[in-house]
């Protein structure tokens, strides 16, 4: 291939990529969606550190390595995001994006820098591109998603404490059940998020095991035996991320199981968020013909035709995000199934959907925290009314008068519209038993 086609010997111009990138742009006009920016930036960082390592190992001229490293850092810092135009739906190994990075860094580095011989030294698309994807996911989860999840957990814990003594009707199957406290419900939500954090965190050690050093098939052909360890150590030291050697280079090269595992943990968290958001929307329904047990923050007008209507917009957003994350996980799972022999060839698909899920869940967690949970208020008048109205409190009579007799009292109360207490007294249950059994707070905390 002629040097002018790669443009690696040319002076800097507005366009820094070369011929292989141009071919990929022409070959893959699929979605108009580029490779995720975090992957691009991590490609730059990995190649910067790789140049330094190759220089230290005596394989690359020191001055040239410095120029390549500086170019890689410039890409890592986002100064050349616009130089990565290739569609995310491309060759399944990410080769086109790796070549794109090689060309851009070579052109920035200047005279004498060759995209393959120097920028890509000791690397293959088959190990460097999935490594960049793993590192991008690890970075985004660590610095964006987990803090957002922690903030939401704290907000829910605060509400659990604030609502600790507010008794309300429990509900199962959307039907009346024995009383609980609003604080107990919010404590459950906080625990869901806390478990979500633990699930996500438990995957990160494996996500941080990058295949760099395996080159084409996992054997490490054409790379110095100390190269990968040097690069991993420097990346870990520079970023503070947990980056390590894979358990087995052929497992790391041929599969993207760690990314599928992370996506699974994200899906579970999305399911949890969906439950929480759905409950908040239901408890906030009304204000006069719904449950109206919570007052959600009023953020915007809810209708273009009905004056004064306010909708649970944040829970609705969160529920939609949850659906998208579940869909992303399905795509990631299919991508993970497409490893053949020494290589998975659906890495861009996995990267696109995984990083999308991470971003969406981080944003949704912050929104739910800052624009919904933190501003929630309990409507104690309605929670008390519902707790007192539910006929499920007859459950507490079972130990005193038996299930069948309690069921008869419930049936009569439901048909006549009278209270349990009134019907029970009429049927001979003593006032003392009723006073003890029908204490809503005691029912919500029977073991206190």
> 379-411: per-residue pLDDT in tens?
999 999 999 888 888 898 999 999 999 999 999
| 343-344 and 377-378 strand pairing | unpaired
Query: What percentage of residues in the chain have a pLDDT greater than 70?
Result: 97
The yes-or-no verdict on residue 15 having pLDDT over 80 is yes
Span(s) in the chain for CATH 1.20.200.10: 128-146+180-380
CATH number corresponding to 390-443: 1.10.40.30
- C-alpha dist (Å) from residue 413 to 256, 423, 437: 60, 6, 17
Lowest mean pLDDT among 39-48, 293-302, 371-380: 293-302
For residue 378, what are the β-bridge partners? 294
- For the annotated catalytic residues, the residue numbers are 173, 303
Q: Are 213 and 249 within 8 A, CB to CB?
A: yes
The yes-or-no verdict on residue 5 having pLDDT over 60 is no
Q: How confident is the model at residue 44 (pLDDT cuts 50, 70, 90)?
A: very high
Looking at every residue in the chain, the average pLDDT score rounds to: 94
**CB contact set of 447 (below 8 Å; sequence gap of 6+):** none
What is the arithmetic mean of pLDDT over 328-332? Answer: 99
User: In this predicted structure, what is the pLDDT of residue 373?
Assistant: 98
Q: What is the DSSP string of 165-212?
A: T-EEEEEETTEEEEEEEHHHHHHHHHHHHHHHHHHHHHHHHHHTB--T
| 167-172 and 377-378 strand pairing | unpaired
Span(s) in the chain for CATH 1.10.275.10: 3-121
What is the arithmetic mean of pLDDT over 34-38? Answer: 98
The yes-or-no verdict on residue 192 having pLDDT over 70 is yes
pTM: 0.93
The yes-or-no verdict on residue 132 having pLDDT over 90 is yes
Query: What percentage of residues in the chain have a pLDDT greater than 90?
Result: 85
User: In this predicted structure, what is the pLDDT of residue 12?
Assistant: 47
User: In this predicted structure, what is the pLDDT of residue 13?
Assistant: 54
pLDDT tens digits for range 94-104: 999 999 999 99
The yes-or-no verdict on residue 1 having pLDDT over 60 is no
Place of tokens 């939500």: 189
What is the arithmetic mean of pLDDT over 112-135? Answer: 98
What is the arithmetic mean of pLDDT over 46-70? Answer: 99
Helical ranges in 337-426 per DSSP H:
347-371, 380-389, 398-401, 403-416, 420-426
The yes-or-no verdict on residue 176 having pLDDT over 60 is yes
What is the arithmetic mean of pLDDT over 182-202? Answer: 99
User: In this predicted structure, what is the pLDDT of residue 4?
Assistant: 41
Higher per-residue confidence, 209 vs 308: 209
**CB contact set of 443 (below 8 Å; sequence gap of 6+):** 178, 179, 393, 395, 396
The yes-or-no verdict on residue 47 having pLDDT over 80 is yes
User: In this predicted structure, what is the pLDDT of residue 291?
Assistant: 97
Q: How many CB atoms lie within 10 A of CB 165?
A: 13
What fold characterizes domain 128-146+180-380? Fumarase C; Chain A, domain 2 (1.20.200)
Give the torsion sign (CA, 127, 133, 137, 140): positive
Pick the CATH number of 3-121 from 3.40.50.720, 3.30.9.10, 1.10.275.10, 3.40.50.300: 1.10.275.10
What's the start-to-end Cα distance of the chain, in Å? 80
What is the arithmetic mean of pLDDT over 266-286? Answer: 98
User: In this predicted structure, what is the pLDDT of residue 2?
Assistant: 41
Span(s) in the chain for CATH 1.10.40.30: 390-443
For residue 295, what are the β-bridge partners? 377
The yes-or-no verdict on residue 86 having pLDDT over 70 is yes
The yes-or-no verdict on residue 303 having pLDDT over 60 is yes
- C-alpha dist (Å) from residue 193 to 145, 187, 189, 297, 312: 12, 10, 7, 21, 20
């Amino acid at each position: 291939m002629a040097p002018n086609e790669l443009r690696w010997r040319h002076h800097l111009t507005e366009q820094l990529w070369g011929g292989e990138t141009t071919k990929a742009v022409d070959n893959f006009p699929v979605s108009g969606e580029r490779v995720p920016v975090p992957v691009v930036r991590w490609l730059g960082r990995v190649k910067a550190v790789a140049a330094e390592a190759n220089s230290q190992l005596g394989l690359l001229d020191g001055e040239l390595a410095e120029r390549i490293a500086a170019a890689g850092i410039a890409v890592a810092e986002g100064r050349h995001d616009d130089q990565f135009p290739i569609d995310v739906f491309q060759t399944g190994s990410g080769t086109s994006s790796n070549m794109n990075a090689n060309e851009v860094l070579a052109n920035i580095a200047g005279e004498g820098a060759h995209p393959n011989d120097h920028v890509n030294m000791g690397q293959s698309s088959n190990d460097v591109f999935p490594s960049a994807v793993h590192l991008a996911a690890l970075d985004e989860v660590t610095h964006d998603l987990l803090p957002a999840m922690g903030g939401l957990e704290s907000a829910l814990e605060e509400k659990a404490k604030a609502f600790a003594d507010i008794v309300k009707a429990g509900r199962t199957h959307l039907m009346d059940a024995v009383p609980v406290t609003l604080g107990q419900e919010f404590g459950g939500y906080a625990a869901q998020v806390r478990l979500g954090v633990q699930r996500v965190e438990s995957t990160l050690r494996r996500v941080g095991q990058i295949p760099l050093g395996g080159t084409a098939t996992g054997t490490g052909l054409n790379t110095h035996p100390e190269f990968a360890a040097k690069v991993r150590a420097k990346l870990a030291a520079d970023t503070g991320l947990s980056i390590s050697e894979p358990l087995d280079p052929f497992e790391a090269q041929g599969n993207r199981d760690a990314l599928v595992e992370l996506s699974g943990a994200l899906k579970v968290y999305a399911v949890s968020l969906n439950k929480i958001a759905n409950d908040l929307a239901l408890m906030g329904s009304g204000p006069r013909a719904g449950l109206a047990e919570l007052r959600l923050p009023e953020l915007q007008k809810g209708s273009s035709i009905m004056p004064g209507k306010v909708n649970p917009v944040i829970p609705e957003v969160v529920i939609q995000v949850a659906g998208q994350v579940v869909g992303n996980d399905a795509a990631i799972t299919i991508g993970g199934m497409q490893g053949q022999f020494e290589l998975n060839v659906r890495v861009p698909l996995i990267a696109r959907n995984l990083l999308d899920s991470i971003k969406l869940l981080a944003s949704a967690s912050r929104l739910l925290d800052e624009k919904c949970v933190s501003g929630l208020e309990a409507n104690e008048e309605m929670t008390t009314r519902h707790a007192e109205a539910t006929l499920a409190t007859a459950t507490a009579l079972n130990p005193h008068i038996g299930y069948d007799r309690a069921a008869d009292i419930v049936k009569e109360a439901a048909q006549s519209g009278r209270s349990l207490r009134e019907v029970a007294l009429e049927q001979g249950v003593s006032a003392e038993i009723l006073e003890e059994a029908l204490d809503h707070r005691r029912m919500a905390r029977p073991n206190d």
